[in-house]
């Protein structure tokens, strides 16, 4: 370690879709509520950004229970995009989020192409929102979500529409449940996305062998947690190699070392999901861990890790 | 109602004993808990930093207390106790912990009981491990009023800690399905007889969902106020994962009214819940841990 590194903190700042983030760490949508749930545990401004639970035009009930099931090294969920809807979000959740200095990214989805456009138009007018993350990848709802995320033409169509309605940076969250992630990444880039987010959960299933019933009421669900990390790292590598826009890596990150792996694979920033459920302060430990890693490795600027894979 | 300070404590086990076949009682060093944990609160425990089990497990707080310090000059040792049934991987790991083993405790969490006194008879109803959150409540209630406990289980081995309730001065009535202890039959039969004597009562219940549903019907018919403590599968315990939701009154597909068991509960006024729409089979997870 050089003397210089002992004196100055390494720079953890990155830039994604025109947003300057003080560090590359943000929560994955749906694992951090609307921020308030975690405010008792740490100063939310320490995060690189905050990503909200997915929003729709009208409130959404979500799926019947059981909605979650633990599996080896992961968990299945089929929450079904339960959310308060845009109006209640603005009235009840935005005051806290708007008071933060860290950028707020609103994740959203629609039940139809038109609704995707309407939500985008609504969010576009809200000054407290720094950027939007378009969900075309939820595996747990019949309409919307993954239907748009598995066909490059349908994905391009929804991204173009949203792009035309939204005057903010647009991040598109992709599903891993496709044959060729690079094809999807390119289609979404060409349609106007400013960044990609890879990956949403992998479709999975678990069965109670005594009752012979599925462990989720929805039968199938989305697998998250450390079990999916190698898949996510592979897809971040493939997607970031295929496009010129930044990629946000997500999938099973538990530690700072996991983040470094994603950065090397090509991610510019990362999202932490399941780890928030296990430890409400997981992201803070990760941010501190990144700083320690950079110091120990003599890295002055974390950006030098991005896409630094040696093959 | 959620004003308590929630902390993630990295702490140690003080003791862990089998109190009945398959049931354990664990005491955990927990500074602050005697002051902050209220009847009905729960904790999320992390037994080890492993991939399997990955998630924490929720446990009702059985009681809190203070022990004298190990040596002079040190502060007294504040602790919490849980009572659990060994049902799955998490509780199997938990049962093997010994004094001095590390454990992480997130809590105290949730909304607890809000006793309704007003000269009413105070009645607690517990089914099996559902007895857990009732002990601290009984300890509070006996300070001002007489308390009765109706306790049910499959067999005598599922009836826990009755003598401890009796030591508080609680009058206890036991029912078992097989008649191996107390009266044979469901706890609700004995409860109905009591309520039909006619004095005004407040009820507090915790146990399997079919029992809670039966108690809820009994109370609704007689206009008796009831608070229930629910158990549910949950990942986070802080209202983020939305895994532990139950349907609130007025719930419909168009006007969803899901309530998080971890945040709006685990204790609910029975009138807050849409009992007819409850996933009765699914919402219950025995012993709060798998």
Q: The CATH number of the domain where B29 resides is what?
A: 2.40.30.10
Chain A residue with Cα closest to B242: A79
Average pLDDT, chain A: 93
* Domain containing residue A253: CATH number: 3.20.20.70
Contacts of B233 in chain A (CB under 8 A): 65-69
Q: Is B156 domain-assigned?
A: no
In angstroms, how far is CA B147 from the centroid of its own chain?
Answer: 17
As for how many domains chain A has, the answer is: 1
- Name the residue among B203, B30, B27 with its Cα closest to residue B98: B27
The size of the A-B interface in CB pairs under 8 A is 109
- At residue A7, the pLDDT reads 59
Question: Does B43 touch chain A if contact means CB atoms closer than 8 Å?
Answer: no
Beta strands per DSSP E along chain B: 7-20, 23-29, 42-46, 57-60, 63-67, 77-85, 102-109, 121-127, 147-153, 171-176, 183-184, 201-206, 226-229, 245-247, 258-260, 267-269
Nearest to B54 among A41, A74, A280 (CB): A74
Question: Does B256 touch chain A if contact means CB atoms closer than 8 Å?
Answer: yes
Question: Does A117 touch chain B if contact means CB atoms closer than 8 Å?
Answer: no
What phi and psi, each to the nearest 5 degrees, are found at residue A173? -95, 120
DSSP-derived pairing of the beta strands B121-127 and B201-206:
parallel
Instruction: Determine the Cα–Cα distance for residues A51 and A29; give it in Å rounded to an integer.
Output: 5
- The verdict on whether omega for the bond into residue A66 sits within 30 degrees of 0, i.e. cis, is yes
- At residue B281, the pLDDT reads 52
Question: Does A293 touch chain B if contact means CB atoms closer than 8 Å?
Answer: no
Q: Is A210 domain-assigned?
A: no
Contacts of A226 in chain B (CB under 8 A): 51, 54
User: Which residues 195-254 of chain B have a CB within 8 Å of chain A?
Assistant: 232-236, 238-246, 251-253
Q: Is A49 domain-assigned?
A: yes
Q: Do A279 and B282 touch (CB under 8 A)?
A: no
Q: Is A220 domain-assigned?
A: no
CA torsion angle B42 B46 B51 B54 (round to 10): 10
As for how many domains chain B has, the answer is: 1
Q: Do A37 and B238 touch (CB under 8 A)?
A: yes
Active site annotation includes A197: no
* Smallest Cα distance from B54 to chain A, Å: 6
- At residue A164, the pLDDT reads 97
Q: Is B48 domain-assigned?
A: yes
Instruction: Determine the Cα–Cα distance for residues A159 and A186; give it in Å rounded to an integer.
Output: 12
- At residue B1, the pLDDT reads 40
* pLDDT tens-digit readout, A144-174: 567 788 999 999 999 999 999 999 999 999 9
Q: Do A74 and B235 touch (CB under 8 A)?
A: no
Q: Find which of A280, A281, A283, A285 to mutate to test the B interface (most B CBs within 10 Å of its CB).
A: A280
Q: Do B6 and A41 touch (CB under 8 A)?
A: yes
Instruction: Determine the Cα–Cα distance for residues B278 and B271; give it in Å rounded to an integer.
Output: 13
Instruction: Determine the Cα–Cα distance for residues A36 and A34; give it in Å rounded to an integer.
Output: 6
Residues B147/B226, Cβ–Cβ less than 8 Å: no
Q: Do A82 and B235 touch (CB under 8 A)?
A: no
Q: Is B134 domain-assigned?
A: no
Q: Find which of A65, A252, A254 to mutate to test the B interface (most B CBs within 10 Å of its CB).
A: A65
Instruction: Determine the Cα–Cα distance for residues A153 and A134; give it in Å rounded to an integer.
Output: 16
pLDDT band at B254 (very low <50, low <70, confident <90, very high): confident
DSSP bridge pairs for B23: B20, B85
Contacts of B56 in chain A (CB under 8 A): 277-278
pLDDT over threshold 80, residue A4: no
Q: Is A209 domain-assigned?
A: no
Highest mean pLDDT among A1-5, A235-239, B47-51: A235-239
Considering chain A, what percentage of its residues have pLDDT values greater than 90? 86
Instruction: Determine the Cα–Cα distance for residues A110 and A115; give it in Å rounded to an integer.
Output: 5
* Catalytic residue, candidates A132, A138, A197, A198: A138
Q: Do B54 and A82 touch (CB under 8 A)?
A: no
Question: Does A92 touch chain B if contact means CB atoms closer than 8 Å?
Answer: no
Instruction: Determine the Cα–Cα distance for residues A238 and A180; give it in Å rounded to an integer.
Output: 9
- Name the residue among B255, B211, B242 with its Cα closest to residue B229: B211
What phi and psi, each to the nearest 5 degrees, are found at residue A106? -95, 120
Q: Is A114 exposed, middle or buried (0-12, 13-18, 19+ CB in 10 A)?
A: exposed
Place of tokens 């602050």: B32
* Smallest Cα distance from A59 to chain B, Å: 7
Q: Is B31 domain-assigned?
A: yes
Contacts of B279 in chain A (CB under 8 A): 64-66, 217
* pLDDT tens-digit readout, B63-94: 999 999 888 888 899 999 999 999 988 899 99
Q: Is A69 domain-assigned?
A: no
Q: Do B51 and A277 touch (CB under 8 A)?
A: no
Provide the domain limits for residue B87.
Answer: 7-109
User: Which residues 22-81 of chain A have a CB within 8 Å of chain B?
Assistant: 30-33, 37-38, 40-41, 59-62, 64-70, 72-75, 77, 79
Q: Is A214 domain-assigned?
A: no
Contacts of A281 in chain B (CB under 8 A): 8
Contacts of A33 in chain B (CB under 8 A): 238-240
Q: First and final CA of chain A: distance in angstroms?
A: 26
- At residue A145, the pLDDT reads 63
Q: Do B253 and A61 touch (CB under 8 A)?
A: yes
Instruction: Determine the Cα–Cα distance for residues A100 and A96; give it in Å rounded to an integer.
Output: 7
- At residue A1, the pLDDT reads 44
Lowest mean pLDDT among A134-148, A296-310, B244-258: A134-148
Q: How many residues does chain A have?
A: 311
Which tokens belong to B256?
């969803």
Q: Do B242 and A274 touch (CB under 8 A)?
A: no
Place of tokens 């529409």: A161
pLDDT over threshold 90, residue B119: no
* pTM for the model: 0.92
* pLDDT tens-digit readout, A200-252: 999 999 999 999 999 999 999 999 999 999 999 999 999 999 999 999 999 99
Average pLDDT, chain B: 90
Contacts of B232 in chain A (CB under 8 A): 65
pLDDT over threshold 60, residue B288: no
Q: Is B124 domain-assigned?
A: no
Q: Is B137 domain-assigned?
A: no
* Smallest Cα distance from B134 to chain A, Å: 26
User: Which residues 61-120 of chain B have a CB within 8 Å of chain A?
Assistant: 104, 106
- At residue B3, the pLDDT reads 54
Residues A128/A97, Cβ–Cβ less than 8 Å: yes
Which tokens belong to B246?
């139950």
Q: Do B256 and A33 touch (CB under 8 A)?
A: no
Residues B253/B95, Cβ–Cβ less than 8 Å: no
**Number of Cβ atoms within 10 Å of the Cβ of B276:** 9
CB within 8 A of B179, min separation 6: which ones? B185
* pLDDT tens-digit readout, A76-110: 999 988 888 999 999 999 999 999 999 999 999 99
**Number of Cβ atoms within 10 Å of the Cβ of B35:** 12
Provide the domain limits for residue A143.
Answer: 3-62+82-203+225-305
Contacts of A61 in chain B (CB under 8 A): 251-253, 256, 258
Residues A217/A77, Cβ–Cβ less than 8 Å: no
- The verdict on whether omega for the bond into residue A199 sits within 30 degrees of 0, i.e. cis, is yes
pLDDT band at B163 (very low <50, low <70, confident <90, very high): very high
> Max alpha carbon distance in chain B (Å)?
63
Q: What is the mean pLDDT of residues B83-107?
A: 93
CA triplet A128, A132, A136: central angle to 5 degrees? 155
ipTM: 0.89
The residue ranking higher by pLDDT, B5 or A116, is A116
Contacts of B244 in chain A (CB under 8 A): 65
């Amino acid at each position: 370690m050089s003397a210089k590194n002992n004196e100055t903190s390494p720079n953890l700042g990155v830039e994604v879709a025109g947003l300057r983030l003080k560090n590359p760490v943000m929560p994955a949508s749906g694992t951090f509520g609307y921020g308030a749930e975690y405010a008792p545990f740490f100063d939310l401004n320490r995060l690189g950004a905050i990503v909200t639970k997915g929003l729709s035009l009208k409130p959404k009930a979500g799926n019947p229970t059981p909605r979650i099931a633990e599996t080896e090294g992961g968990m299945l969920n089929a929450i079904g995009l339960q959310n308060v809807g845009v109006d209640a979000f603005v009235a009840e959740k935005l005051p806290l989020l708007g008071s933060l200095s860290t950028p707020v990214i609103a994740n959203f989805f629609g039940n139809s192409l038109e609704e995707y456009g309407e939500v985008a138009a609504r969010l576009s007018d809200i000054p407290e929102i720094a950027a939007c993350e378009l969900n075309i990848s939820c595996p747990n709802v019949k309409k919307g979500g993954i239907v748009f995320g598995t066909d490059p033409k349908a994905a391009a169509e929804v991204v173009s529409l949203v792009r035309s309605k939204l005057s903010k940076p647009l991040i598109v969250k992709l599903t891993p449940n496709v044959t060729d992630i690079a094809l999807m990444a390119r289609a979404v880039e060409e349609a106007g996305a400013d960044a990609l987010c890879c990956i949403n959960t992998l479709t999975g299933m678990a069965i109670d062998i005594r009752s012979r019933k599925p462990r989720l009421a929805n039968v199938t669900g989305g697998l998250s947690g450390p079990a999916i990390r190698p898949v996510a790292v592979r897809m971040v590598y493939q997607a970031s190699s295929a496009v010129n826009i930044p990629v946000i890596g997500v999938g099973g990150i538990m530690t700072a070392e996991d983040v470094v792996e994603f950065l090397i694979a090509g991610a510019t920033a990362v999202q932490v999901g399941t780890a928030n459920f296990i430890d409400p302060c997981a992201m803070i430990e990760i941010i501190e861990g990144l700083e320690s890693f950079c110091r120990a490795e003599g890295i002055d600027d974390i950006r030098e890790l991005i896409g630094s894979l040696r093959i | 109602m959620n004003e308590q300070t929630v902390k993630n404590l990295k702490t140690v086990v003080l003791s862990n004993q089998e109190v009945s076949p398959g049931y354990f009682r664990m005491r955990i060093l927990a500074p602050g808990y005697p002051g902050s944990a209220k009847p009905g609160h729960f904790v999320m425990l992390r037994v080890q930093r492993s991939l399997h089990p990955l998630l924490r497990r929720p446990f009702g707080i059985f009681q809190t207390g203070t022990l004298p310090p190990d040596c002079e000059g040190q502060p007294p040792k504040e602790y919490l106790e849980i009572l659990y049934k060994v049902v799955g991987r998490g509780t199997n790991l938990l049962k093997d912990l010994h004094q001095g083993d590390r454990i992480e405790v997130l809590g105290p969490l949730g909304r607890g009981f809000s006793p309704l006194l007003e000269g009413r008879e105070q009645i607690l109803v517990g089914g099996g491990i559902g007895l857990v959150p009732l002990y601290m409540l009984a300890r509070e209630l006996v300070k001002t009023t007489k308390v009765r406990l109706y306790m049910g289980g499959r067999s005598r081995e599922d009836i826990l800690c009755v003598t401890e309730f009796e030591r508080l001065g609680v009058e206890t009535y036991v029912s078992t399905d097989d008649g191996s202890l107390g009266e044979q039959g469901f706890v609700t039969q004995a409860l109905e007889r009591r309520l039909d004597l006619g004095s005004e009562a407040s009820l507090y219940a915790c146990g399997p969902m079919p029992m809670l549903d039966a108690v809820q019907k009994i109370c609704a018919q007689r206009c008796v106020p009831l608070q229930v403590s629910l158990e549910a599968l949950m990942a986070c315990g802080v209202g983020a994962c939305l895994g532990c939701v139950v349907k609130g009154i007025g719930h419909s597909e168009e006007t969803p009214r899901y309530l998080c068991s971890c945040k709006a509960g685990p204790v609910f006024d029975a009138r807050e819940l849409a009992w007819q729409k409850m996933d009765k089979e699914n919402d219950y997870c025995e012993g709060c841990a798998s």
